[in-house]
């Protein structure tokens, strides 16, 4: 399980309901056009933390039904409600997802023993592998090399989605645990992360920039750093424009430029205004691959 995985956008209608047809179109675009290696479902990019447990199950089922076994599928099941996380883990395992992922528990100041128990509890009743989802900027949870090592003692924990700019820790993890999967989570840092021998990357902008991301990995693996720098610069131009215009709304508008019914974001995220939509169209004309 390696390569470029799209942190999948979810499609909602104007009332905030899951738009099944739109979600299927997003899946197909990522597989057929971007030709990504896998999909990371119900992560931050999928507006997961604004969904009910039943809505999450609906998304997991639609994506699996549409993607089948064409690409690897990772289900983000993390939740503050441990019973929900365990239920979702069992549900997606039965659906045939290739791996689980779970964000570190957030909001409350959990100590490390509580965090470790959280992961072990999710995994105790399921036969599946787990990628820790480490994103300190949003969770406030920073773990060091020793703590990652303690988590990795659970044989079902096979790796980490590493969404942090700490490249010293990234290198130490790669050196200490060469058998574990490490996926980079910052799209704008894919090139430097790749140099450290990551197994792949999981990113939101891969919904519209998957081909370049795959190109960066390929160029690094082939030792062509000039090509890798060129593709990262092009990607970062696109990422800058997307961030300046509103991350999730702009990705959805860019997919619409490609003929995909990406729908809207769910409240409290706002709908894009006319100026934002026009800016997205201009981004699509000038910066998409």
Q: Identify each DSSP E strand in 118-235 by its residue range.
A: 130-134, 157-162, 181-184, 200-203
Exactly one of 86, 116, 161, 214 is catalytic; which is it?
161
Residue 132: closest CA among 201, 179, 78, 203: 78
Dihedrals phi, psi of 234, to nearest 5 degrees: -60, -40
Is 107 among the catalytic positions?
A: no
The answer to whether 187 is annotated as binding is yes
Return the SS3 of 52: coil
Spatial CA neighbour of 260 closest among 65, 18, 26: 26
Nearest to 198 by CA among 234, 153, 164: 164
Beta-ladder partners of 162? 134, 184
Using only C-alpha atoms, what is the Rg of the chain?
Answer: 18
Nearest of 7, 32, 64, 6 to residue 260 by alpha carbon: 32
Q: How many Cα atoms sit within 13 Å of 23 on the Cβ side?
A: 28
Q: Is 44 marked within a binding site?
A: yes
The yes-or-no answer on residue 271 being catalytic is no
Instruction: Flag whether 34 is marked binding.
Output: no
Q: Which of 29, 133, 248, 264 is catalytic?
A: 133
Q: How many CB atoms lie within 10 A of CB 214?
A: 20
* Residue 234 assigned ligand-binding role: no
202 labeled binding residue: yes
What φ, ψ does residue 254 adopt, rounded to 5°?
-65, -35
With vertex at residue 287, the alpha carbon angle to CA 7 and CA 215, rounded to the nearest 5 degrees, is 55
Q: Which residues pair with 132 in a beta bridge?
A: 102, 160
Residues at the binding site are: 44-45, 163, 185, 187-188, 202, 204
Active site positions, annotated = 133, 161
Residues at the binding site for pyruvate are: 45, 202
Residues at the binding site for aceneuramate are: 44-45, 163, 185, 187-188, 204
């Amino acid at each position: 399980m390696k390569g470029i995985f799209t942190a999948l956008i979810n499609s909602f209608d104007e009332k905030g309901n899951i738009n099944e047809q739109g979600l299927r179109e997003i899946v197909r675009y990522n597989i057929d056009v971007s030709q990504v290696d896998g999909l990371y479902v119900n992560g931050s990019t999928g507006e997961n933390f604004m969904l009910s447990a039943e809505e999450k199950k609906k998304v997991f089922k639609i994506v699996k039904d549409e993607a089948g076994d064409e690409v690897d599928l990772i289900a983000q099941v993390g939740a503050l409600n441990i019973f929900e996380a365990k239920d979702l883990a069992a549900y997606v395992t039965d659906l045939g997802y290739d791996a689980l992922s779970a964000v570190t528990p957030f909001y409350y100041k959990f100590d490390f023993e509580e965090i470790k128990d959280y992961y072990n509890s999710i995994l105790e009743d399921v036969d599946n592998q787990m990628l820790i989802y480490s994103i300190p900027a949003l969770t406030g949870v920073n773990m060091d090399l020793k703590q990652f090592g303690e988590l990795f003692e659970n044989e079902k924990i096979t790796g980490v989605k590493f969404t942090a700019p700490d490249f010293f820790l990234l290198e130490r993890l790669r050196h200490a645990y060469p058998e574990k999967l490490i996926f980079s989570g910052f799209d704008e840092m894919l090139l430097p992360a790749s140099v450290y021998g990551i197994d792949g990357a999981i990113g939101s902008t891969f919904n519209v920039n998957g081909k370049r991301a795959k190109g960066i990995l390929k160029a690094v693996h082939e030792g062509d750093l000039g090509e890798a720098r060129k593709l990262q610069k092009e990607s970062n131009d696109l990422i800058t424009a997307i961030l300046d215009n509103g991350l999730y709304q702009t990705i959805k508008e860019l997919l619409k430029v490609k003929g995909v019914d990406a729908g809207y974001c769910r409240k409290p995220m706002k709908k894009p205004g006319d100026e934002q939509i026009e800016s997205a169209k201009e981004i699509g004309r000038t910066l998409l691959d």
